[in-house]
């Protein structure tokens, strides 16, 4: 069946095209269609087993390099080290599986949202069936409280209102109608004669015909987009992959050079040179790096969880730290997703609505709660959000709502109608007369008003009064307020003919109320904090342009009156991708958008090289959440769909928690960067030492020496750097962006000169020990020199760990002993290194000699020079940076 714009079709044409009627389908036809087209359900997301997830962890390039290192260590006879490296690999894989075990649940969550049953007409009889048994052409009967079971074209509407915020982003229920719409390419929120799967009926009733089921519905289309979306590679993953490839190439080249040069010199045997090359490769591989990164990220997730940010995937922590753009859904994220009375207009004035109180006989207060279908229950207020806001406003001011409702019960009514946009109810007064309470759209109500209640008196409504009221209505509307007007009329008896013409005329205007879905109180400061951190917050919403602009201005996302920064979905449709890519930087507010618009916005920024975070809580946000570099779902108001598609969930739905998460992400990246600089400079020092010893024909450090130094210095101290306290002003720096990497900000230069320095000092100590030996015997002198080089190469890395507490800052300003875990790591590492020389038996296993006090003094002095020299270099670096 060809796709047609159902909202443009008449009932007769729909019945003809869908081969149905107002009597409904026959049971036989319904069964045939069910067998042919399938059930009214969303596709089940294909899941992977825990074993598959575990094995997938070993596809990472750096993990492969580590496994090669384990094999190399095993070949050299160091089985213990090989086992340790493999344990690190497995631990890394377990962490990854643990974080991703609940990933890819978004489609399944969508399926669970489906309505359990539906009331339909089949064989001209009303019956209830399971919603997954609905087929195209079924006639569905709706009433307040129903979940719409499929996409419907409405045919008979009676005051129907549908809450579609999870699909369109609009917080206010949409008034539905059954009239044919003639416009082309209407957005979902403007298709007023359509009702969509998984929306909620908040008011009224209607009959509709099913025009789409399952994956053909609007929700199904979103599910398809979500299913097809590609997983985004995070900056962390990209950096680690590139680092692993670069290191591998470098390692192979250097190892080959050392092997060839050694064989050319004929100083060592083939086996010895092969072992030397292997030792050099082991020295160059930072086997502790993946574990350190994983542990640092895991600890970051624990800290973030305590601050209400739940991370579902480890790399998302670091990604937050590089975020350039936060594209935020409005409803329920920036706002509270509930209507609240913001302004009250009475006596042609706008008093402070927050301090305003009404006496019991105030007509405006009475009409607000009488012409109202809100139900007061033990669990709170139930009904249309706009109407419950009016009642809640009075309850908050201790107005006797329940007593007034009891004393003035409803005896007649004219229900709300979307065409006349009014609602009227009739109530008895104490003097035997009756009060007609009317509420509705200001422009429609004013047509029926002839008098004005002002300061407890009633006077004729003048032209100047009418103009003042219309002007105020316009001003409130431009402030993103939804305005309702209230009027009344006192009659001697209940009108015999309850029609609009006979009841809703000659009214007395009591006042107006401006309502809004209010912004969260903490969001304005969070937006300011994001801007100070160089992050651009943007608002994406299904609301109209004026409403979106007004709220964005109140939050500080745009300047007041900056309409050029606002664009609608329709305007976006008129742009091709190339034009939009050029202009995307001009817009901070996107109004009246559809799900595909959100994905397009995210993609446009990503093509500019920006790291994009997308927040949201509705079904409509899920594709963009998955497309973004980091999707941020809402834990309280968010649908399971949005949570399942997110990398991170805000447990408190607090926008400011995002800023906290960004801060934590920046801290995590900075600490990983410190660990990388420390590890690679240390490994470069080891490589340089082995390389130069080979080139100079000196006795070289054995594989066991290098493996032990790596085991001692590449684990605890490096992990301790991952939990360093946050440095000052980290949130005053601009985002790193997508193009940055772990070598940015002078880190690569630091690795090179610090590695050369470590290797140079170690070689200098070795040369001094050979040139000025303590023992006259050559073999003993060589043993001393090798031992001093071994001790220096290990200790110099431990001293350098203090330098690595800050990339550019002095160790005296970042808290030398503030990190207790770091302090203990250094002590333990020093003890493990020293005992190989000092403990009898161990020194023979490690082929090292005892050192006297003088020799230890040279080792310690030389190692400590690492701190002195690096501090001097940092001093001049800071001067140049300024």
Query: Does the structure show a pLDDT above 80 at 349?
Result: yes
Instruction: Indicate if the pLDDT at residue 99 is higher than 50.
Output: no
Fold of 235-299+671-726+736-881: Calcium-transporting ATPase, transmembrane domain (1.20.1110)
pLDDT in tens, 506-536: 999 999 999 988 888 888 988 998 999 999 9
Does residue 21 carry a pLDDT above 50?
A: yes
Structure token pair of residue 26: 């026959």
Task: Decide the pairing of beta strands 380-382 and 375-377.
Answer: antiparallel
CA 387 to chain centre: 32
pLDDT value at residue 110: 36
Please, which residues bridge with residue 310 across strands? 649
Residue for token digits 């990246």? 669
Q: Give domain limits for the chain.
A: 6-37+135-212, 50-108, 235-299+671-726+736-881, 319-337+520-659, 340-516
Of 18-32, 275-289, 362-376, 579-593, which gets the smallest average pLDDT?
275-289
Residue 184 has pLDDT above 90, yes or no: no
Mark whether 329 is an active-site residue.
yes
The residue ranking higher by pLDDT, 663 or 116, is 663
pLDDT in tens, 413-439: 998 876 788 999 999 999 999 999 999
Question: DSSP assignment, residue 333?
Answer: I
Task: Tell me: pLDDT of 465 over 90.
Answer: yes
Q: Is the pLDDT of residue 846 over 50?
A: yes
Tell me, what's the pLDDT at 572? Answer: 92
- Where is average pLDDT lowest: 475-479, 764-768, 824-828? 475-479
Kindly tell me if the per-residue pLDDT of 111 is higher than 50: no
488: tokens are: 């009344």
Q: Is the pLDDT of residue 707 over 80?
A: no
Its CATH architecture, for the domain 6-37+135-212, is Distorted Sandwich (2.70)
What's residue 563's pLDDT?
85
pLDDT at 330: 81
Confidence tier at 381 by pLDDT (50, 70, 90): confident
Q: What is the mean pLDDT of residues 294-318?
A: 76
Q: Which distant-in-sequence residues (6+ apart) come within 8 Å of 824 by Cβ?
A: 720
Q: What local confidence, expressed as pLDDT, does residue 421 receive? A: 86
Question: Per-residue confidence at 477, pLDDT binned at 50, 70, 90?
Answer: confident
374 vs 844, residue with greater confidence: 374
Round the average pLDDT of the chain to a whole number and report it: 83
pLDDT value of position 867:
94
Reply yes or no on whether the pLDDT at 317 is more than 60.
Answer: yes
Contact present, 182 and 8 (Cβ < 8 Å): yes
Q: Tell me which residue of 76, 168, 171, 252 sits closest to 703, measured CA to CA.
A: 76
Helix (H/G/I), strand (E/B), else coil: 789? helix
CB distance 666 to 315 below 8 Å: no
pLDDT of residue 225: 64
Which residues sit opposite 375 in a β-bridge? 382
Task: Tell me how far apart the alpha carbons of residues 359 and 204 are, in angstroms, rounded to a whole number.
Answer: 32
Out of 160-174, 244-258, 375-389, 575-589, the most confident range is 575-589
Q: How confident is the model at residue 272 (pLDDT cuts 50, 70, 90)?
A: low
Contacts of 154 (CB under 8 A, 6+ apart): 160, 176, 177, 178, 193, 194, 195, 206, 207, 208
119 or 741: which leads in pLDDT: 119
Q: What is the mean pLDDT of residues 311-315?
A: 73
Q: Which of 535-549, 738-752, 787-801 has the highest mean pLDDT?
A: 787-801
Q: Name the more confident of 796 and 688.
A: 796
6-37+135-212 and 235-299+671-726+736-881, same CATH topology: no
pLDDT at res. 213: 92
Check residue 240 and give its pLDDT.
Answer: 66
Check pLDDT > 80 for residue 29: yes
Please spell the DSSP secondary structure of 247-261, one letter per residue.
HHHHHHHHHHHHHHH
- pLDDT-based confidence at residue 351 (cuts at 50, 70, 90): confident
Q: Which of 75-84, 142-151, 575-584, 782-791 has the lowest mean pLDDT?
A: 75-84
Of 251-265, 491-505, 647-661, where does mean pLDDT reach its minimum? 251-265
What percent of the chain has pLDDT above 70? 84
Higher pLDDT, 636 or 717: 717
Domain spanning 319-337+520-659, CATH architecture = 3-Layer(aba) Sandwich (3.40)
Degrees, nearest 5: CA angle 324-326-330 = 165
Output the pLDDT for position 108.
Answer: 43
- Would you say residue 2 has pLDDT above 50? no
> Mean of the pLDDT values across residues 111-116?
46
Contacts of 564 (CB under 8 A, 6+ apart): 586
Catalytic entry in 81, 138, 178, 329: 329
Q: Which of 258, 66, 108, 230 is nearest to 641 (CA)?
A: 108
Between CA 83 and CA 60 the distance in angstroms is 19
Residue 490: φ, ψ to 5°: -110, 125
SS3 content of the chain, % helix, strand, coil (to 5): 50, 15, 30
This prediction has a pTM of 0.65
Q: What's the pLDDT band for 266 if we cut at 50, 70, 90?
A: low
Above 50 in pLDDT, residue 319?
yes
pLDDT in tens, 606-640: 988 899 998 877 666 777 788 888 888 877 766 65
CATH architecture of the domain with range 340-516? 3-Layer(aba) Sandwich (3.40)
Classify burial at 441, counting beta carbons within 10 Å of its beta carbon; exposed 0-12, middle 13-18, buried 19 or more. middle
Q: What's the pLDDT band for 337 if we cut at 50, 70, 90?
A: confident
Average pLDDT estimate for 120-131: 89
pLDDT-derived band of residue 61, with 50, 70 and 90 as boundaries?
Answer: low
What average pLDDT score do residues 286-314 get?
74
Residue 19 confidence class, pLDDT cut points 50, 70, 90: very high
Instruction: Give the whole-angstrom CA distance, residue 108 versus residue 130.
Output: 18
What is the average per-residue pLDDT within 595-605? 84
Residue 644 pLDDT greater than 60, yes or no: yes
Whether 577 shows a pLDDT value over 90: the answer reads no
């Amino acid at each position: 069946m060809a796709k047609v714009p159902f909202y443009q079709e008449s009932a007769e044409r729909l019945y003809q095209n869908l081969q149905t009627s107002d009597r409904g389908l026959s049971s036989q036809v319904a069964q045939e269609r069910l067998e042919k087209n399938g059930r009214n359900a969303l596709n089940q997301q294909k899941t992977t087993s825990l074993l598959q997830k575990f094995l997938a962890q070993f596809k990472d390039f750096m993990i492969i390099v580590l496994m090669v290192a384990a094999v190399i260590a095993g070949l050299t006879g160091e089985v213990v080290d090989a086992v340790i490296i493999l344990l690190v690999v497995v631990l890394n894989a377990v962490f990854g599986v643990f974080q991703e075990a609940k990933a890819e649940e978004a489609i399944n969550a969508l399926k669970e949202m489906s309505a359990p049953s539906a009331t339909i007409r089949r064989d001209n009889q009303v019956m209830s069936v399971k919603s997954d048994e609905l087929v195209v052409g079924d006639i569905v009967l709706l009433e307040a409280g129903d979940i719409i079971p499929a996409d419907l074209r409405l045919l008979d509407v009676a005051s129907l209102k549908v809450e579609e915020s999870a699909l369109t982003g609009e917080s206010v229920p949409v008034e539905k109608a059954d009239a044919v719409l003639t416009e082309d390419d209407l957005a979902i929120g403007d298709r007023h004669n359509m009702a969509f799967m998984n929306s909620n009926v908040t008011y009224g009733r209607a009959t509709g015909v099913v025009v789409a089921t399952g994956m053909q519905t609007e929700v199904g289309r979103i599910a398809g987009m979500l299913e097809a979306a590609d997983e985004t590679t995070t900056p962390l993953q990209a950096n680690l992959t590139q680092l692993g490839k670069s290191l591998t190439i470098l390692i192979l080249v250097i190892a080959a050079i050392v092997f060839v040069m050694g064989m050319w010199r004929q100083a060592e045997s083939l086996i010895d040179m092969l072992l030397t090359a292997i030792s050099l490769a082991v020295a160059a591989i930072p086997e502790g790096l993946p574990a350190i990164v994983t542990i640092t990220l895991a600890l970051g997730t624990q800290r973030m969880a305590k601050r209400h940010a739940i991370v579902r995937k480890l790399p998302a922590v670091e990604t937050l730290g590089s975020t350039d753009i936060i594209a935020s859904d409005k409803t329920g994220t920036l706002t509270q997703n509930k209507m609240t009375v913001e302004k009250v207009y009475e006596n042609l004035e706008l008093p402070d609505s927050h301090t305003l109180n009404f006496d019991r006989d105030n007509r405006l207060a009475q009409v607000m709660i009488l012409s109202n279908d809100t139900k007061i229950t033990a669990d709170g207020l139930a009904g249309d959000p706009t109407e419950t806001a009016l009642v809640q406003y009075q309850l908050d001011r201790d107005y006797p709502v329940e007593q007034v409702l009891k004393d003035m019960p409803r005896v007649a009514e004219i229900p709300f109608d979307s065409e006349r946009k009014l609602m009227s109810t009739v109530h008895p007064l104490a003097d035997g007369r009756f009060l007609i309470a009317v509420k509705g759209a200001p422009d429609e109500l004013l047509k029926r008003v002839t008098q004005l209640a002002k300061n407890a008196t009633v006077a004729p409504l003048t032209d100047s009064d009418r103009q003042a009221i219309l002007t105020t209505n316009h001003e409130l509307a431009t402030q993103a307020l939804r305005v309702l007007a209230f009027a009344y009329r006192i009659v001697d008896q209940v009108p015999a003919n309850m029609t609009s013409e006979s009841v809703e005329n000659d009214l007395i205007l009591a006042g107006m109320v401006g309502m809004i879905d209010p912004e969260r109180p903490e969001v304005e400061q969070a937006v300011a904090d994001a801007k100070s951190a160089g992050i651009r917050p943007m608002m994406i919403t299904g609301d109209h342009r004026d409403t979106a602009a007004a709220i964005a201005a109140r939050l500080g996302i745009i300047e007041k009156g900056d309409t050029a920064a606002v664009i609608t979905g329709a305007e976006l449709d008129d742009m091709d991708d190339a034009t939009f890519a050029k202009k995307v930087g001009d817009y901070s507010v996107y109004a009246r958008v559809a799900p595909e618009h959100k994905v397009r916005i995210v993609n446009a920024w990503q093509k500019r090289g920006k790291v994009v975070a997308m927040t949201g809580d509705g079904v409509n946000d899920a594709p963009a959440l998955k497309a973004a570099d980091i999707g941020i779902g809402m834990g309280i108001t968010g649908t399971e769909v949005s949570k399942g598609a997110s990398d991170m969930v805000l447990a408190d739905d607090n926008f400011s928690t995002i800023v906290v998460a960004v801060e934590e992400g920046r801290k995590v990246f900075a600490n990983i960067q410190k660990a990388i600089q420390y590890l690679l400079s240390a490994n470069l020092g080891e490589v340089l030492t082995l390389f130069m010893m080979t080139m100079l024909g000196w006795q070289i450090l054995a594989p066991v020496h290098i493996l032990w130094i790596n085991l001692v210095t590449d684990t605890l101290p490096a992990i301790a750097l991952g939990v360093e306290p946050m440095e000052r002003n980290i949130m005053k720096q601009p985002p790193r962006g997508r193009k940055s990497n772990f070598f940015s900000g002078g880190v690569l230069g630091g690795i090179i000169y610090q590695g050369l320095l470590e290797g140079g000092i170690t070689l200098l100590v070795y040369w001094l020990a050979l040139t000025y030996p303590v023992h006259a015997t050559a073999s003993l002198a060589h043993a001393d020199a090798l031992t001093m080089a071994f001790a220096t190469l290990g200790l110099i890395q431990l001293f350098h760990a203090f330098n690595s507490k800050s990339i550019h800052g002095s160790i005296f300003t970042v808290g030398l002993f503030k990190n207790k875990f770091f302090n203990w790591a250094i002590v333990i590492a020093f003890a493990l290194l020293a005992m190989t020389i000092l403990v009898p038996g161990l020194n023979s296993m490690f082929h090292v000699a005892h050192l006297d006090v003088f020799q230890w003094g040279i080792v310690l002095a030389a190692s400590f020079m690492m701190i002195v020299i690096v501090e001097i270099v940092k001093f001049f670096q800071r001067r140049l940076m300024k």
